Amino acid sequence: MSAPSGRTASTFASEPADAITRAPAITAACTAAPATPPEAEGTSTVSPGRTRATLTTIDQAARQAGEQARAAAASWTLDEDAYLASGRFTEELLAAAQETGLQLFERDDRLYCYPVLVRVAPAERSVFVDRARERRLRPSVLVAHLREVQRKPPRFRPETFLESLFTAYSYLVKQYGPSALDGSHTEPLVHVYELLTLQPGAARDYSRQEFARDIYLLDRGGVTTTRRGFTVSFPASTGARSASASVRVVTESGQEKVYYGIAFSPGG
C-alpha cells in the first residue's frame, strides 16, 4: 500500500494555497488606507502623498495576488478522471485511512467503511458515501469525513428491511402451494435481490453490495420477527461457494461474510 505521491500531495496542498496567502497582504494594505473623513471645507487631514503611496501599495498587492492565482491555475495539472480511474486515489485513500487507524477495506469495486460503502465514480469526478455524493477528493479530508460518519447512528431501518424481505420471499415461495410458508423452503438471496430491483435503474440505485451489507446489519442487529410473526433465518448452502449464487460483505473487522439463502418460519 503506497503513501500519497509527492506530486498529488503538492497539487492538493501547496500550489493553490500559495495564491490564498497573498490575500492578507491586500487586506493589510486596505486597512492602512486613510480613513479620516474630509473636513467641512472639502479638504482632508491626510497628505496627498500618503494617499498615493497607500493606493500604490494596494495596487501592487492586488497585482501580485492576481499573478499568483494565474500561476496556481496554470500549475493545476491533475487529471481528476485519470486519477480516480487509475486506482491511485483508492491507494492513497487506503493509505490515509491506515495512517489514522480508520478501518477501510477494498472489495468488489467498493470500499467498506462499516457501516457505509464508498464508491469511486471517475466519470462524475466524485465519490459516493452510500448514496451521498462527496466531491472532496483529498484523501485526508475524506478519511476525516468517514470517521465522522461512523460516529453517527446508522440510517438502516431493520424492521422495514425485514418486511421487504418477507414480501419478496412470500412471492417466490408461492410455487410451493399450501406449504409455501411452513418454514421448509430456502430461497437464494440473489433471487430476492433481483425481485427487489426489478424496476429500471433500481439495481444502479441499490447495488448488490449494499444489499449484502443490509443483510449483515439485519443478521447482527437482533430484529428477526415480522409483524405477522414469521422468523427469518439465513441457512448456509454449498452454493455459497459460488460468487454468483451468494451475496458477500466485508465486516467491520475486514473479514468476508457470505450469505446464500433466506427462509421464514411461522412462530409458535
Residues 124-163 have pLDDT tens digits of 889 999 999 998 889 999 999 999 999 888 889 999 999 9
- pLDDT(203) > 80: yes
Q: Which three cell numbers stand for residue 53?
A: 503611496
Parse the chain into domains and list their residue ranges. 6-75, 80-151, 158-266
Buried b (16+ CB within 10 A) or exposed e, 201-240: eeeeeebbbbbbbbbbbbbeeeeeebeeebebebeebeeb
Note the pTM of the prediction, 2 decimals. Answer: 0.70
The DSSP-derived string for 143-181 is HHHHHHHHHSPP---HHHHHHHHHHHHHHHGGGGGGGTT
Higher pLDDT among residues 172 and 17, named by residue: 172
- The secondary element (H helix, E strand) that includes residue 82 is helix 80-85
Cα angle for residues 194, 198, 204 (degrees, 5° grid): 85
- pLDDT(166) > 90: yes
Q: Which three cell numbers stand for residue 173?
A: 415461495
